[in-house]
């Protein structure tokens, strides 16, 4: 048995035991990957189109020099993971790395299976760092809630999540339109929520998965 909690972007979200569950598509989110976005004219190629991070004067997907959407995007230096690329943040941040300009502060989309959830789910109690089970066809993957997407849109996940599910992981042309089942357990974030080993998240999800009701 399940109870309808909300409908977001036409997708019903239901309570399933102690978890929230929905079935829909998966858009691939590059945020947090150190090579997610490249400056125009740099000769570098970002994993995603720069327009998906904003525009001059309104950057919502890049770290800026003054910490506001109106600032200038921060470019990684020689000691960073991807020199010359912009720094792309996630809502979930490391409690070990405090420098907001350091790409290691954020959850790397290319390495960590994560979900980005809309504000409506945050209001219902889904927290950053909560764990999830994501299923597609005969594949499944653990995930962690690491980012917040736009209101009214549900079904975003990291490059690593798409890859684990056998879905085209390109933020530019990948993803899929339907058939992805996401189960999130509110209140299951680690302490601290990040950083965590993916193997630790996997073990936690395997335990929670065994307690799911049938149906």
- The yes-or-no verdict on residue 160 having pLDDT over 80 is yes
> Residue range 18-30: average pLDDT?
97
CB proximity list for 203: less than 8 A, separation 6 or greater:
none
Kindly state the helix (H) or strand (E) to which residue 213 belongs, with its residue range: none
- The yes-or-no verdict on residue 141 having pLDDT over 80 is yes
For 41, phi and psi rounded to 5 degrees? 75, 5
CB proximity list for 184: less than 8 A, separation 6 or greater:
19, 20, 21, 115, 117, 121, 126, 130, 131, 132, 145
The beta-strand segments (E) located in the chain are 3-8, 11-16, 19-29, 54-55, 58-59, 114-117, 131-136, 139-148, 156-158, 176-185
pTM greater than 0.85: yes
- The yes-or-no verdict on residue 192 having pLDDT over 90 is no
- The yes-or-no verdict on residue 215 having pLDDT over 70 is no
How far apart are the C-alpha atoms of 149 and 157, rounded to whole Å?
A: 10
Q: What was the pLDDT predicted at 137?
A: 97
CB proximity list for 139: less than 8 A, separation 6 or greater:
164, 165, 166
- The yes-or-no verdict on residue 191 having pLDDT over 90 is no
Q: What was the pLDDT predicted at 211?
A: 81
Residue in this structure with the two tokens 């209140």, named with its chain if needed? 187
Q: What was the pLDDT predicted at 212?
A: 82
Handedness of CA 54, 55, 59, 65 (dihedral sign): positive
What's the CA angle centered on 130, arms 32 and 133, to 5 degrees?
A: 90
Q: Are 8 and 24 in contact (CB under 8 A)?
A: no
Kindly state the percentage of the chain with pLDDT values over 90.
94
- The yes-or-no verdict on residue 1 having pLDDT over 60 is no
Q: What is the pLDDT of residues 162-171, one digit of tens each?
A: 999 999 999 9
Question: Token digits for 16?
Answer: 């399933």
- The yes-or-no verdict on residue 210 having pLDDT over 90 is no
pLDDT-derived band at 2 (thresholds 50, 70, 90) equals confident
């Amino acid at each position: 048995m399940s109870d309808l909690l909300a409908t977001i972007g036409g997708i019903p979200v239901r309570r399933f035991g102690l978890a929230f569950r929905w079935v829909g598509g998966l858009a691939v989110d590059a945020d947090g990957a150190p090579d997610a976005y490249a400056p125009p004219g740099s000769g570098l190629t970002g994993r995603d189109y720069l327009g998906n991070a904003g525009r001059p004067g309104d950057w919502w997907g890049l770290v800026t020099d003054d910490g506001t959407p109106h600032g200038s995007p921060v470019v990684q230096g020689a000691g960073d993971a991807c020199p010359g690329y912009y720094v792309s943040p996630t809502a979930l941040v490391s409690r070990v790395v405090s420098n907001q300009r350091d790409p290691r502060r954020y959850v790397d989309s290319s390495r960590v299976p994560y979900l980005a959830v809309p504000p409506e789910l945050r209001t219902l109690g889904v927290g950053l760092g909560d764990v999830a089970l994501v299923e597609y066809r005969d594949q499944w993957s653990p995930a962690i809630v690491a980012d917040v997407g736009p209101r009214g849109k549900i079904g975003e996940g990291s490059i690593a999540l798409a890859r684990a599910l056998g879905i085209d992981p390109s933020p530019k042309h990948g993803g899929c339109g339907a058939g992805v089942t996401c189960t999130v357990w509110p209140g299951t974030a680690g302490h601290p929520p990040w950083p965590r080993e993916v193997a630790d998240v996997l073990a936690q999800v395997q335990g929670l998965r065994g307690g799911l009701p049938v149906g």
